[in-house]
A and B are shown apart, each in its own frame.
Chain A
Amino acid sequence: MRELLTGNKAAAWGARLADVDYLPVFPITPQTEIIETLAEWIDHGRIDARLTILESEHSMVTAAGAAAATGVRVFTATSSQGLLYAMEMLYNLAGWRVPLVLVNVSRGLSAPITLEPDHNDVLAARDCGFLQLHCTTCQEVLDSVLLGYRLAEDMRVRLPVLVNLDGFYLSFTREPVEIPSAEQVRAFLPPFHPGSNRFAGGTPVSQAVAVLGGTPYSYFRYQAHLASLEAGRIFGRIAQEFEARFGRSFEAVEDYHCDDAEILFVMIGSFASKARAAVDSLRASGQKVGLVRPRLLRPFPVASLVRLFEGKAGVAVVDQNLSNGSGGILHTELAAALYPLSKRPLLVSFVGGLGGRDITAGEFFAMHDVVRRAVGTGQAPPPRLLFTKDELAAVRHMQDIAAGTGETS
């Protein structure tokens, strides 16, 4: 069945097809449509699940993890401030080794408060122990939820999964989405089996007991790290099975026109569609460019990235986030991953798309020029914020109005 779905509806469909049992929720724009959709389906008996409205994301994530530890399949969703508010418990859930899927609809962080997207929220959760899948299309949102459960529930993994989509650009954009049948999904994703580590009468289970000293602490943290690495290998196999069943390829890193490319763009999220269009235009004018888009950000698919980057001349890393006082987070991650290569490409860092600010086709062409020039000189320029003189003038104008010194006519 093919339908026009927003990214939010696609996420809700993912949860519905995964036949989730439990939905602890708390509203935040632009995620609300996900929980409203699921609530409506519950009201109309379309899904046999329980929805509980918690009083905060901190509690929501706690309830989610505790329910998963008790043996039911759990889905939840949040965004931005909500994800950060839950941060303490994100670490706990990964430490509890509970499988569930949490959808984050990316949105910039306060202050100033905004509703529009960038990736500082989801990347703040980079180190919490959740696996991370990043989507560029609404179809991927639905598919990632299903893949997420397969991955999370694999006995060798047993880690929670975060699926990310951009607010507004995907949450409210309708695209044609292939909705698989419940039977097809059931064959791919069997009912949840909690295994032995769940709370049950007569067989006590202790979760997250205290440890004394660094030795057991290191052991448990290291086990979760190894499971996360293992998840990378398992993801590859699950993705192959997914492709065989559903016909959609789902590699950890998507590459677009990379084979003969000299210059690559690297991006995550929905803005990668713009990069894709820019690659098409640049190719049409004879430039050898490509696009690399990591879907899996945790575990970081280093081997695949190295394979794609080896022998390339230059890379434009376009970060839709800003680590103040440092630069783009993806840039740092890629630099670290590529450092061991003897023939590594020149990495040039760009930061753009903050708070939903557009990245225009012209800017992609300009980034390409900057990288070409840098390759020529062998010298990477300092990180650059994509922000035009006109934009600066517009903000200055607003400041004049705010200060009461500008013309408001």
Chain B
Amino acid sequence: MTESADKRCGSAKTGTLAPGTPMCAGCGGLQALHQIYDLLGDRTVFVNAAGCMTLLSIYPYTPFPGSWLYTAMACAPAGAQGIRDALDLLLSKKRIRTKQDLLPVVLTGDGAAYGIGLSATSAAIDRGLDFLYICYDNEGYGNTGHQSSAATPTGARTATSRVDGFAGIKKDLFSIWCAHRPAYVATAIGSEPADLSKKVKKALSLRGPRLLLVLAPCPTGWGFEPARMVDIGKLAVETGSWPLKEYVDGMIRHTHIPSRRVPLEDYLCLQGRFRHLFKPVREDERLSGLQHRVDDYWANLK
């Protein structure tokens, strides 16, 4: 590509993604996408894997002023590869002008990003594909009724772990991406828009494989009132449960270190998926286990 990514995607606007989508009220994924899309602009082509956001575009309507391709659950990065390769060919053979270039943006949930699509993602990073990957992480298979995914946190109840909650440990996708030495990896959340915006701009200033891993508080799957979505998102950050960080040039940097971390309980007790940890009896041991894990993460930082 010849133009800078910033210019290619145009300047920031507001309300780029049209309203009136069928996402749930209070969807943290949609909140983040609104903010991101304002910065990306319309010279994008979104490549989507099956998930909640697949229903953003329902024939004959679309909230996107840019282009959109639905692929399947396992292969959105491969779709981005085909589009990027084709655009590069069209540019090099002078069949399109540089201002007709587009940014391929993969948009998937955590089920696709951490699970079924990970092989396609890993390979796309290996090939140095110039694309942006947005994963809205609602910590479960949202679209099919919130079953457990590899991104589900320990103890969370899902449609496939209804009694004691999920027994596994949330997969560390951030580290998996970093191990591939991509151009950029960042965690973010819609409830921290300034941080998110900086990361989108940083991602846009770079070339190569770039991931925005965005925690997406999900009222439907997590069990909270839609109106509390922003609070829950802020608590995810202030409890230290969702560290805001980025990887660039081989270095990992935390973009926000909570000065006094809020107890994890304050985050968990607001969500139906963790209610069994508090009622009918308080599961002190499990709660402190979860708190320890967060504490260890930050203690091991330095």
Q: Point out the residues of chain A lying under 8 angstroms from B65, CB to CB.
A: 204
Measured CA separation A210–B62 after assembly (Å): 10
Q: Could you say which of B95-103, B154-162, B198-206, B214-222 contacts chain A?
A: B95-103
Pick the most buried of B42, B65, B71, B99: most chain A CB atoms within 10 A of its CB. B71
A52-B96 in contact given A92-B71, A202-B43, A216-B59 (Cβ < 8 Å): no
A204-B74 in contact given A66-B81, A67-B83 (Cβ < 8 Å): no
Measured CA separation A3–B297 after assembly (Å): 67
Q: Point out the residues of chain B lying under 8 angstroms from A52, CB to CB.
A: 81, 85, 127
A212 interface residue (CB < 8 Å to B): yes
B90 interface residue (CB < 8 Å to A): yes
A65 and B82 within 8 A (CB): yes
CB of A101 to closest CB in B, whole Å: 15
A70-B123 in contact given A48-B93, A207-B69, A209-B59 (Cβ < 8 Å): no
CB of B17 to closest CB in A, whole Å: 12
Please encode chain A, from 99 to 121, with 1 for each CB lying within 8 Å of some chain B CB and 0 for all others: 00000000000000000000000
Measured CA separation A212–B81 after assembly (Å): 29
Measured CA separation A201–B62 after assembly (Å): 16
B120 and A56 within 8 A (CB): yes
CB of A265 to closest CB in B, whole Å: 40
B99 and A201 within 8 A (CB): yes
A388 interface residue (CB < 8 Å to B): no
Pick the most buried of B75, B81, B83, B126: most chain A CB atoms within 10 A of its CB. B75
Please encode chain B, from 67 to 92, with 1 for each CB lying within 8 Å of some chain A CB and 0 for all others: 11111101101111111011111100
B residues contacting the other copy or chain, number (CB 8 A): 47
Measured CA separation A200–B58 after assembly (Å): 21
Q: Point out the residues of chain B lying under 8 angstroms from A199, CB to CB.
A: 45, 67, 69, 83, 102
A55 and B119 within 8 A (CB): yes
A67 and B72 within 8 A (CB): no
A56-B79 in contact given A62-B71, A66-B47 (Cβ < 8 Å): no
A306 interface residue (CB < 8 Å to B): no
Measured CA separation A55–B124 after assembly (Å): 9
B62 and A71 within 8 A (CB): no
Closest to A51 in B: B85
B25 interface residue (CB < 8 Å to A): no
A204 and B90 within 8 A (CB): no
Please encode chain B, from 45 to 64, with 1 for each CB lying within 8 Å of some chain A CB and 0 for all others: 10100000011011100101
CB of B42 to closest CB in A, whole Å: 7
Q: Point out the residues of chain B lying under 8 angstroms from A64, CB to CB.
A: 82
B66 interface residue (CB < 8 Å to A): yes
Please encode chain A, from 63 to 100, with 1 for each CB lying within 8 Å of some chain B CB and 0 for all others: 11111111110000000000000001100100010000
CB of A231 to closest CB in B, whole Å: 24
CB of B171 to closest CB in A, whole Å: 19
A204 and B68 within 8 A (CB): yes
Measured CA separation A89–B74 after assembly (Å): 10
B83 and A59 within 8 A (CB): no
Residues of A within 8 A of B (CB): 21-22, 24, 48, 50, 52-56, 58-60, 62-72, 88-89, 92, 96, 199-202, 204-212, 216
